[in-house]
Amino acid sequence: MEQPNAFVATFETGRRYQVHKSYIWVGPIVAVGAMLFVMLTSGAQGVIDLIIAFQKGDINVNPLLVVGLVVLGLAALVGLFTGVYALAWRNMWYVFDEREFSFYSGIITKKRVHVPYARVQSVNHRASIVQRLFGVCTVTIDSAGGSANKGVMVPYLQLEVAERMRAELFVRKAAVAAGATLTLQADAGAGAASRWVCPQCGKEGSGSFCGECGAPMPLVAHRSSNVLDQAIGDVGDWRGIYGGSAVFGEEPVSYEYGLTNHELLLTTVSHDTPIAIALVIGLTFVVSCAILILIQDEIARTIAMFAFPIIAIGTVATWVFGLLGVLFSYGNFRARRRGTRIEVERGLLARESSGIDIQRVQSVEIRQSFIRRLIGYCEISLGRIDSVSEQNSGNNNSKANTKGLVIHPFVKLDRVDEILDGLAPEFADRPRRADGAPLPKQATRRALLRRCLWFNGAFWVLVCLAAFWGILAACVNAGVFHFSSAAGRAQYETFMAGSLALVAVICVAVTVARGFGAVLWARHSCYGWNDRYLYLHNDGLSTGDSVIPRQKIQAGATRSNPFQRRLSLATLQAVTAAGTHSTTAKLVDVPASAGEAFLDWMKPRTS
């Protein structure tokens, strides 16, 4: 009799599987191309000087000889890289063992990485633009270890194989947990893509209807789309030369959505990174031009007038290119719930697919930047444990996903409950903002002092600049510095006074904005908890909501400095394992009694 808990495998246990052969020639092309780009950008002036010297006749060399030498050099370089990559490919393979996944690599230094199936947290893959041309991608297997356990990266797998690998790892993980045996499927190809589990009778179905009870395949809820998905959907779904046919998991999708035209447009224009870069460039330009004008020199003013249109166009161009990067990054966005996993795919040119099991979610984060708060939108993300890959283990910040898994980059606040109930119904009984307890009145005064004085960089810049200006003026009055004429001294005084006034205006504007944010924070921030979840809401010009399951809190603590103790206040902190090290969610200036109640809530329970 067939074992009821048998699981079907599509990879043979113990067999060596190598990555795709495109690794041998695509890798060298990308490496040499990147090297040439760096050489040309860093030595552009030298190349220009060399071309000018050729034109003037200062260098008498046959151009065909130069071109031939360059071509031969590139060919030799590509050949050398190809040989190295070929050796690396011959020594690179992966194996599905009985209880763990193993990845082997290395030419001289041999590496052998094992990931027990029971510890697999998420299986993600990402394909660069070049990789998408060939239909391959890089698979990352995270094992819930943070920076202590490096993420295992398997490069250059066909998209079809990558999707099969993801399903295989979760099947083997479930089999290990259930203590069941694995049955090898003979046709481990597209035939596995159509299987799904009937929600009525629990039998395996194929096609559109269950073969046992005739029930239809579960429908996907709320599948939004936009003009970018429709106009170039083939680009978003394109699987390249070797990608193969689409392979879906063994479980049906119960909920799925994308971005509407409105959401995609607002996600692009309100993204923080392009705006921040454009503002920094624009502000630097304005200050520089103002200083040049204050010098009261005709040459300086001429430079400022000529620089104005150039820098203005550069600032706008930087912002536009940043917007295009965000647009392509979120093109063909899809978020779905499949079984117990939440999956997110995004990217029009470079494609990224990542996911997390619902039991591994450390927190739910709802964030609003200043612009998004003005129009009533937010970003929803799930805190998760991230692993650092071997390639960037020396720089944890380079790949650490500080936002977690973004499940919607731009959504109206009144749709947050709908999305979370569809993707993560396990969080349905979480506390809401309306249930939170407000901060005491003393928090307003402390927030103003904290944000406008003690921790206000703009205020201290103004203080330091004023002190420097005063010292310089005293030196001038004492005769330490001499001017050749009265006009020179007048020009100096005008420049110094104008510079100080300009910086003072900027610092006062920043301080006023921080003060407004402090008042908003003190009046609208709140906190609360129930049997299963902690809720913290930090308000201000930008807002952040954190919903943390009690069982995911690694450490709960309260802190109080002498000023807080005088007013019977404390800072509430909850540490989770999210990120590559840990993540601390906190709320300052809650009542001391609330801090004691939080610590009592954190105590281990007997029932």
| Coil, strand or helix at 553 | coil
Q: Is the pLDDT of residue 165 over 70?
A: yes
Question: What tokens does 213 get?
Answer: 């009870």
According to the model, what pLDDT value does residue 216 have?
53
Q: What does the pLDDT look like over 306-345, one tens digit per residue? A: 777 777 787 788 888 888 999 989 988 999 998 888 999 9
| Coil, strand or helix at 270 | coil
User: Residue range 172-179: average pLDDT?
Assistant: 89
According to the model, what pLDDT value does residue 144 have?
62
pLDDT exceeding 90 applies to what percent of the chain?
A: 45
Residue 274 has phi, psi (to 5 degrees) of -60, -40
Predicted confidence band of residue 293 (pLDDT cuts 50, 70, 90): low
Question: What tokens does 491 get?
Answer: 């020009």
Please give the model's pTM, rounded to 2 decimal places.
Answer: 0.83
**E strands of 283-333, at which residues?**
none
According to the model, what pLDDT value does residue 563 have?
95
Q: Is the pLDDT of residue 214 over 80?
A: no
| Coil, strand or helix at 49 | helix
Predicted confidence band of residue 304 (pLDDT cuts 50, 70, 90): low
Element at 155 (helix H, strand E): strand 152-158
Longest dimension (CA), the chain: 107
According to the model, what pLDDT value does residue 428 have?
93
Say if CB 188 and CB 10 are below 8 A apart: yes
User: Helix, strand, coil: what percent of the chain each, to 5?
Assistant: 50, 25, 30
How confident is the prediction for the chain on average, in pLDDT?
Answer: 83
Q: Is the pLDDT of residue 39 over 60?
A: yes
Half-sphere CA count of 160, side-chain side, radius 13 A? 17
Question: What tokens does 463 get?
Answer: 């203080």
Q: Which of 255-269, 341-355, 383-397, 557-571 has the lowest mean pLDDT?
A: 383-397
According to the model, what pLDDT value does residue 391 have?
47
According to the model, what pLDDT value does residue 230 have?
63
User: Residue range 546-571: average pLDDT?
Assistant: 96
DSSP state of 215: P
β-bridge partners, 334: 345
- Distance, in Å, from the CA atom of 282 to the CA atom of 420, rounded to the nearest integer, reads 39
β-bridge partners, 342: 337, 356
User: Residue range 247-271: average pLDDT?
Assistant: 83
**Region for residue 244 given its phi and psi (left: phi exceeds 0; alpha: psi -120 to 50; beta: otherwise):** left
3-state secondary structure 492-513: HHHHHHHHHHHHHHHHHHHHHH
- Distance, in Å, from the CA atom of 439 to the CA atom of 593, rounded to the nearest integer, reads 12
Q: Which of 140-149, 251-260, 377-386 has the lowest mean pLDDT?
A: 140-149
Say if CB 152 and CB 120 are below 8 A apart: no
Between helix 63-90 and helix 22-42 the angle, nearest 10°, is 140
Question: Which of 132-136, 287-291, 535-539, 575-579 ranks highest by mean pLDDT?
Answer: 535-539
CA-based nearest residue to 537, from 435, 452, 407, 426: 435
Say if CB 336 and CB 256 are below 8 A apart: yes
Say if CB 194 and CB 229 are below 8 A apart: no
According to the model, what pLDDT value does residue 580 have?
77
Q: Is the pLDDT of residue 205 over 80?
A: no
User: Residue range 239-251: average pLDDT?
Assistant: 73
